Amino acid sequence: MTLRDCRDLAVSTANPTSLAAYESAVEQMHSYFGDPVATIDAALERDPEFVMGHALRAGVLTTAADRSAEPMLRQSIEAGEALWSKANERERGHLTAARAWLEGDFERAAHRYAGILADFPRDSLALQIAHLGAFYLGQSTCLRDFVSRVLPYWDESVPGYNYVLGMRAFGLEEMGDYERAEATGRRALELQPRDPWAVHAVAHVMEMQGRAAEGVAWLSEREANWAPDNGFAFHNWWHLGLFHLDLGHTDRVLALYDEHIRRPDSKLPLEMVDAAAMLWRLHLRGVDVGHRWQELAEGWATVSDQAYYAFNDVHAMMAFIGDGKLDAAQKLIGTLERAVTGVHTNAMMTREVGLPMARALLAFAQGRYGETVDLLLPIRPIAHRFGGSHAQRDIIALTLVEAALRGRQVRLARALVAERIDLKPRSPANWAMAARAMELLGDRTNAEQARARATRLAA
């Protein structure tokens, strides 16, 4: 006998308690409220032959983007594979996809999870893992299209529809379809206000359009629905910090960092990425962040020799440089140089983006601004290949502009800032950079006008 879940998908168990735990864990996975691994672990302790429980646990662990999760991931996959004869087609698909991730083929894993959706379009777990996999791979088209392929099978009568809309909103945003993205995210929140991913998707729209004051209001007014006891809150706090940074509120950014963005006891790469990205943006502005670099660099030192995911490695490099640990930075470059010879997905990410980016950051730290520019310019068109969102990868462009300004490549800096202003004309930070470029070019009149506009937008 098999049971069916709330979305009418068969689960290889006759134990209703196991199924109930699975349903709770899936909800926790989608909402980031609670601990899906702890929930499913309790069920597996009672029912070790619960195949879908092992598959869920494996899927959640793939999304950590952290090599330290590999032993648990392997354990889940092997436990599920030992029950292969008891598993149904969908469960086998989950285990096969997770196995690809364990073997370092992140792209095959994400597309195998997405492949499950052709036969089981209401498998919201497979959808979310595929969606996050596309994010880690920087595949914006897939972020949108993986969700699009299942939409005909979802409506308000299906539990979790709001989460599907939240994922759709983020995919549309990453494809630059801002109007539909915002409308879809807002609709998701009408159905379920406690959907941090949908809140996050709309925040991304506002970030990409330079709507910093609106972004502050958007996140602040909904804080009770995304912040308390939520595993994704650190990232939404990071977005709130970005909005304040654009407005020039650096004291508020540092307060957010200390209170919410950075937990000093956390060694989770996803959290340390946001911490490093925020401190680096402050560093580019010449803001003294004090002891914060040292603590963060110590956290990165525990995982920086893994070369597991290039996006993480680049942010570790920022922390080492910010703390003045150039020996650790040089050691990390050596690790990345060895990593490019592999055949797994991360070898490509490291070779094409991660390693040249790390070298550029080190050159920047050593005042070799011309070299920084030469290394970063070719990365920009292919930066998506090492994952992350447009908002996260903007750190490449910000570093490039700052290197051009400091290296007196002023006409290049002016051109790069013009690109930014065309995309985000309401950003005070962009106009402030334009003023710096014009000042260096001796164009005092336009520099004053740009500076005045930055002040008006920040008010």
pLDDT one-digit tens code per residue, 210-227: 999 999 999 999 999 999
- Convert the pLDDT of each residue in 140-169 to its tens digit: 999 999 999 999 999 999 999 999 999 999
Residue 40: what are its φ and ψ, rounded to 5°? -75, -30
Q: What percent of the chain has pLDDT over 90?
A: 96
pLDDT at 38 over 80: yes
Domain boundaries, given as residue ranges, for the chain: 408-458
- Convert the pLDDT of each residue in 383-430 to its tens digit: 999 999 999 999 999 999 999 999 999 999 999 999 999 999 999 999
- Evaluate the CA torsion angle 82, 111, 272, 348 in order and state its sign: positive
Q: What is the DSSP letter of 304?
A: T
**Contact, 126 vs 55, CB < 8 A?**
no
pLDDT at 304 over 80: no
Structure tokens at 226: 């995304």
**Contact, 216 vs 244, CB < 8 A?**
yes
pTM of the model: 0.96
pLDDT at 305 over 90: no
Give residue 351's pLDDT: 97
Give residue 264's pLDDT: 87
Strands annotated E in 49-186: none
Question: Helix, strand, or coil here: 426?
Answer: coil
Q: Which residue has the tokens 């908002």?
A: 391
pLDDT at 1 over 80: no
